[in-house]
Amino acid sequence: MEDINLLNYLSQNNIEVPDGISLSVVNLPSDLDRSLQIEKAKQENRHANMKFTFSEPTYSGLGDKFEWAQSCIIVSYSYLKQNNFNLGYSPGEGSIARFAKEDYYVPLKKFITLIKEHFENKNLRTAQFIDNPKHYDRLFFEQAGLGWQGKSTMMLSPGKGPWQLIGNIYVEKKFKLEKKNDYSCGSCNLCQISCPTGALDDDYVLDSTKCISYWLQSPDIIPHEMRERLGNRFYGCDECLISCPPGQDRKINISSNSSVDLIEILNTESEELVKKYNWFYIPKRDGDFLKRNAIIALANNPSKNSKDTFLKLLNSESDLIRFYCIWALWKIGEFYLLHKYLDIENEESNLVLNEYQRLNEMI
C-alpha cells in the first residue's frame, strides 16, 4: 500500500489538529545522530554540569532508537499567540519567560497522547518524548521541514519564529514525506547582539555557563557578576527570542500584566511557591530557589518596600535566603544596615559569613 501524507491520514481518522499545533514527519532509519555534538558541549563544559540529555548523549542524541519505529512525528506547539509582549516593568516587578507563563506543555502532551492512543488501538508500537532527558527534542525538526536551527540554537519556523515547544513520537508506520524548504538565518545575528551575557558569541552554540535561563534553574551559587545580569528575571530568559526577526509578527502590549510581584513572592511560603509554579524546573523542588531568584530580581529592580523585605528576610531560617539578602542590601546601597540587623556574632553559616566579609571588604 502506498504511503500516505500525515495530515491526510489524521484527517481520514478524524484526528483534528488543534490551533497552535504544527506537525511533520521523518521516516526511519534516519542516520541522524547528535550524540557527538552533545558530548562535545559536555567535554567543553558548555553544559554547566546539567544532567538532562547530557547524562547519556549516545542515547539522547541518537535518531534510530527503536528498530521497530518506521517514522517519527515531530509536534510543535506555538505558545506565543496567546501571549503579549511586556516591554515595561514597574519597580518591584519580575519577569517570567513566555514559555513558562503557564504550562504550555499541556496542549503538546494532550495531542501527542491522542496520536499515541490512535496507533496503539491499531496495535502499532509508539514511544513519545516531550522534554525528556533521554531525547534531544530538536533532533528531527529541520529534517522534517518544520524550520531550521538558528544561531541562538532555537528551532525557528517562518511566521512562528522560536516561540514553540517541541515533542516527538516514534510510530510503527511510514508516511509520505513533504517537500523540505531550505531556510537559514542568513547574515542576521540579532540574538547574539541581544544576549545580555555573551552566551551566544559562537554561531549556533550556546554556552550554558553564561545563560541566564540556566542560572535561574541552577542549584549552584550564582556568581556576583551574573546576579546583576539576571536583571528582573524571575524565571527563564527571552532576549534571544524577542530579538529574532522570524518571530516578530506578534502583538506588542506594553502594559500587559505578564509580570510577577516580587515582594508577594518573597512573602509566600516556599512550599506554596512550588505548588503555584509546579510546571517550573525547580532544583530539588525547593521553593527557596525561587525566592533566591526573586531576591536577585528585586535587588536589580527595587521598589520602595524592598529594603524592609530584605531586612525581614535576614531572620529567615534558610542560609540561602540570608546569603542572597546580604548581597541584595549591598546592591541597593543599604549594606551599612547589616551591622544593626544581622546577628553576625551568632551566625553559624559559613556561606552567610563569607558573603558578609567579602562584601564588607568591597565597600
Nearer residue to ligand SF4 within complex by CB, 5 or 49: 49
246 binds, among ligand B12, ligand SF4, none (CB under 5 to 8 A by kind): ligand SF4
Q: Between 126 and 213, name the residue whose CB sits nearer to ligand SF4.
A: 213
193, 201 contact by CB (below 8 A)? no
Instruction: Write down the least CB distance from residue 172 to ligand B12, Å.
Output: 22
Interface residues toward ligand B12, by CB under 6 A: 34, 37-38, 41, 50, 52-53, 97, 99, 131-132, 135-138, 149, 152-155, 162, 164-166, 204-206, 208, 211, 213-214, 217, 236-238, 240-241
Evaluate whether 95 touches 234 at the Cβ level (below 8 Å). yes
Close Cβ partners of 132 (under 8 Å, ≥ 6 residues apart): none
50 binds, among ligand B12, ligand SF4, none (CB under 5 to 8 A by kind): ligand B12
Residue nearer to ligand SF4 on the CB measure, 131 or 319: 131
Alpha-carbon dihedral sign for residues 8, 10, 14, 19:
negative
Cα 277 from Cα 102, distance rounded (Å): 8
- In the complex with ligand SF4, which residue's Cβ is closer, 73 or 206? 206
To the nearest whole angstrom, how small is the minimum distance from the Cβ of residue 85 to ligand B12? 13
Nearest residue (CB) to ligand B12, 285 versus 358: 285
Q: What is the C-alpha separation between 355 and 330, in angstroms, rounded? A: 11
CB under 8 A, 24+ apart: contacts of 224-231: 224/327, 226/197, 227/296, 227/299, 227/300, 227/327, 227/331, 228/300, 228/331, 229/196, 229/197, 230/293, 230/296, 230/297, 230/300, 231/95, 231/196, 231/297, 231/300, 231/301
> Residue 301 binds which entry of ligand SF4, ligand B12, none, with Cβ cut-offs from 5 to 8 Å by kind?
none
Which entry of ligand SF4, ligand B12, none binds 239, CB below 5 to 8 A by partner kind?
ligand SF4
To the nearest whole angstrom, how small is the minimum distance from the Cβ of residue 281 to ligand SF4? 14
Q: Which residues bind ligand SF4 (CB under 6 A)?
A: 150-152, 154, 156, 185, 188-191, 195, 197, 199-200, 206, 211-213, 237, 239-240, 243-246
C-beta closer to ligand SF4: residue 252 or 344: 252
**For ligand SF4, the closer CB: 195 or 282:** 195
Q: Which one of ligand B12, ligand SF4, none interacts with residue 244, CB within 5 to 8 A by kind?
A: ligand SF4
C-alpha cell at 229: 545580569
Cα separation, 258 vs 86, whole angstroms: 6
Residue 153 or 270: the one with the smaller Cβ distance to ligand B12 is 153
DSSP-assigned states of every residue in 80-125 = GGG--B-----TTEEEE-GGGTTTTHHHHHHHHHHHHHHHHHTT--
The three cell numbers locating residue 206: 550556546
Could you tell me the CA-to-CA distances from 147 to 23, 33, 159, 162, 210 in Å, in that order? 11, 18, 10, 10, 26
Which of ligand SF4, ligand B12, none binds 204 (CB below 5-8 Å, type-dependent)? Answer: ligand B12
Fill in the amino acid letter for 125: R
Helix (H, G, I), strand (E, B) or coil at 208: helix
Shortest distance, position 195 Cβ to ligand SF4, whole Å: 3
Q: What are phi and psi of 123, to 5 degrees?
A: 60, 30
The H-assigned helical ranges of 164-215 are: 190-194, 212-215
| Closest chain position to ligand SF4 (CB) | 150
150 interacts with, out of ligand SF4, ligand B12, none, CB within 5 to 8 A per kind: ligand SF4
- Please say which residue, 149 or 318, places its beta carbon nearer to ligand B12: 149
Q: Report what 35 binds from ligand B12, ligand SF4, none; CB cut-off 5-8 Å by kind.
A: none
* Smallest separation (angstroms) from ligand SF4 to the CB of 243: 5
What is the DSSP code string of 260-290? Answer: EEHHHHHTS-HHHHHHHTTTS--GGG-THHH
Question: Residue 138 binds which entry of ligand B12, ligand SF4, none, with Cβ cut-offs from 5 to 8 Å by kind?
Answer: ligand B12
